[in-house]
């Protein structure tokens, strides 16, 4: 498991993030910038696997199962939206984040599911189980996440603008859920994992914010209202420039 995650993450760190710019339909020239990812992520993933095992509370177990489902939701949704809007260059944001981050995030949670022998459903834990076979794209072990996926997919299929707004919604929801769970867990490996996932969501929020601006939505994610309007101080990206500016 760890070897696979490290390989995926190495690709993520070395890759580039392509966001479109130009006219409002997102079909003009592209601008390439470094993909926003924390170079310390490899160390974080090594730590969550090698830190000593501690007794788990029911809240910690349920938190890991919940976050596996939620990270999978983001991956599945972004793949689907990337495919749906492939004619728009700006849709590359969905593909990049799905392949270079959310895939890693889902498998990062699986490190701890395996470490603590936790099943994502009522079936007994099985180390040889292939969760991707049992739960193909768009299916989840929690009804709450299944309903959220269906709702967000329906919104995202309306238009490319709505799809990018869905990206903002997913990342803010993810941060809120992680903050709530960080407050109730005390195992260091789980805290490290959740903080790692949260940093990813900070980065992704700004990617979708910029993508919306690239298609002419001047307020970016803030066009969704106060709940989804974040500042650099609230969501500090890991690729902050030397002058405090994002690339």
Q: Which residue has the higher pLDDT, 158 or 13?
A: 158
pLDDT of residue 42: 78
% of the chain surpassing 90 pLDDT: 74
pLDDT of residue 27: 39
Per-residue pLDDT, averaged over 223-234, amounts to 97
What is the number of other CB atoms lying within 10 angstroms of the CB of residue 118?
18
Q: Render pLDDT for 127-185 as a digit per residue (tens, 0 to 9).
A: 999 999 999 999 999 999 999 999 999 999 999 999 999 999 999 999 999 999 999 99
Q: How does DSSP assign 59-112, residue by residue?
A: HHHHHHHHHHHHHHHHHHHHHHHHHHTTTSGGGHHHHHHIIIIIHHHHHHHHHH
pLDDT of residue 32: 27
Picking from 18-22, 86-90, 104-108, 203-207, which range would have the lowest pLDDT averaged per residue? 18-22
Q: Is a pLDDT exceeding 70 seen at residue 62? A: yes
Output Rg (C-alpha) for the chain, integer angstroms.
18
The pLDDT confidence band at residue 39, using thresholds 50, 70 and 90, is low
Number of H helices, E strands in the chain: 9, 2
Spatial distance between the Cα atoms of 179 and 202, rounded to a whole number of angstroms: 12
Average pLDDT of the chain to the nearest whole number: 85
- Are the C-beta atoms of 68 and 110 separated by less than 8 Å? yes
CA atoms within 13 A of residue 80's CA, in its CB half-sphere: 21
Q: Is a pLDDT exceeding 50 seen at residue 23? A: no
pLDDT of residue 79: 97
Sorted by sequence, the CB contacts under 8 Å of residue 240 that are 6+ apart come out as 232, 246
Q: Is a pLDDT exceeding 60 seen at residue 84? A: yes
Spatial distance between the Cα atoms of 41 and 3, rounded to a whole number of angstroms: 14
Q: Which residue has the higher pLDDT, 29 or 189?
A: 189
Domains of the chain, earliest start first: 2-12+42-124+134-228 (1.20.1260.10)
Q: Is a pLDDT exceeding 90 seen at residue 14? A: no
- Cα dihedral across residues 116, 122, 123, 129: positive or negative: negative
What pTM, to 2 d.p., does this model score?
Answer: 0.83
Q: Which residue has the higher pLDDT, 245 or 110?
A: 110
CA angle 84, 88, 205 (to 5 degrees): 85
């Amino acid at each position: 498991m760890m070897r696979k995650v490290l390989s995926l993450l190495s690709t993520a760190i070395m890759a580039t993030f392509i966001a479109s710019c130009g006219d409002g339909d997102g079909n003009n020239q592209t601008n390439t910038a470094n993909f926003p990812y924390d170079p310390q992520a490899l160390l974080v993933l090594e730590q969550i696997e090698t830190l000593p095992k501690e007794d788990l509370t029911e809240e910690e177990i349920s938190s890991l199962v919940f976050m596996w489902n939620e990270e999978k939701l983001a991956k599945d949704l972004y793949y689907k939206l990337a495919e749906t809007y492939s004619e728009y260059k700006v849709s590359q944001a969905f593909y990049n984040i799905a392949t270079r981050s959310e895939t890693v995030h889902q498998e990062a949670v699986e490190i701890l599911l395996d470490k603590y022998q936790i099943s994502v459903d009522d079936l007994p834990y099985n180390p040889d189980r292939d969760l991707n076979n049992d739960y193909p794209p768009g299916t989840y072990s929690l009804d709450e996440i299944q309903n959220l996926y269906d709702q967000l997919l329906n919104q995202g299929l309306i238009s490319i603008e709505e799809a990018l707004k869905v990206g903002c919604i997913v990342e803010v929801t993810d941060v809120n859920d992680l903050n709530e769970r960080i407050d109730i867990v005390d195992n260091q490996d789980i805290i490290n994992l959740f903080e790692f996932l949260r940093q990813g969501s900070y980065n992704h929020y700004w990617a979708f914010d910029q993508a919306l601006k690239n298609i002419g939505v001047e307020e970016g994610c803030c066009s969704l209202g106060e709940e989804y309007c974040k500042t650099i101080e609230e969501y500090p990206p890991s690729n902050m420039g030397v002058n405090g500016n994002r690339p």
